[in-house]
Amino acid sequence: MEELHSETPKAEPEPLSTPKIIGLTGGIGSGKSTVAKFIEEFGFPVYYSDDRAKTIVNDDEDLKIRIKALLGEKAYSTDGIYDRKFVAQKVFNNKDLLQQLNEIIHPAVRIDFENWVKKQTKYLIFKETALLFELKLNRQCYKSLLVTAEDNIRAKRVMDRDGKTYREVEAVMEKQMPEKDKIKLADYIIYNNTNLEDLKEQTEKIIFDIE
């Protein structure tokens, strides 16, 4: 009788094939979020690392405790919301503190991303992250796609978008990996120096060319 019950338990069905992950990146104001939206319009899913990180720091209680221990109670408002401005000011010129904060946040985002990947059914999926090359996350991707534009164009777009001064944008740019280094590392490059129509056309051409 035992035989009747000896069937091996059914495993979770394996996806037919694992999707190809394309790392989508670019410096401040390069247009990577705009490209990500176009990619979604073309029917491919995008994981927004920065947006997910913002959600995770508010939702994950363990993370909250560790961030408060590192940066103080003021890292969260009295109603428990992560204070990005306070945190940014605290870590902007403190490499060591920034690294410790990243060591708390990045593994949580990685796990969240892995769970997201498991749910995807498309053959091509995208991970938008500003730090693709800095964190060597491109190694975990099938290909990398860089959005780049001249510094003065990026600065102007961010000034218009966020009301920042040129100096404020420049200060962020100075801390990011230089565009010329990213260009060397990228598999695909979109030069976003003209208009949105051109940006969308370049995006379409590249994503449907990825093999």
As beta bridge partners, residue 128 has 24, 48
Closer of 67 and 158 to ligand ATP (Cβ): 158
User: Using CB under 6 A, which of the segments 52-60, 73-81, 96-104, 193-201 binds ligand ATP?
Assistant: 193-201
From the list 76-84, 102-110, 175-183, 195-203, the region that binds ligand ATP by CB under 6 A is 195-203
φ, ψ for residue 134, nearest 5 deg: -60, -40
Asked if residue 21 binds ligand ATP (CB under 6 A), the reply is: no
Instruction: Name the H helices within the chain.
Output: 32-41, 49-59, 61-71, 84-92, 95-119, 151-162, 166-175, 179-185, 196-209
34 binds ligand ATP (CB under 6 A): yes
Candidates 74, 118, 139, 161: give the one binding ligand ATP (CB under 6 A).
161
Whole-number minimum distance, CB 35 to ligand ATP, in Å?
Answer: 7
Q: How far is the CB of 94 from ligand ATP (least distance, A)?
A: 21
Question: Residues 12, 14, 15, 20: what is their CA dihedral angle, to the nearest 10 degrees?
Answer: 120
Of 132, 155, 158, 206, which lies in the binding site for ligand ATP, with binding defined by CB under 6 A? 158
Find the binder of ligand ATP among 22, 104, 124, 199 (CB under 6 A).
Answer: 199
For 165-179, give one letter per residue: b (16+ CB within 10 A) or e.
eeeebbebbeebeeb
Q: Facing residues of 188 across strands? A: 145
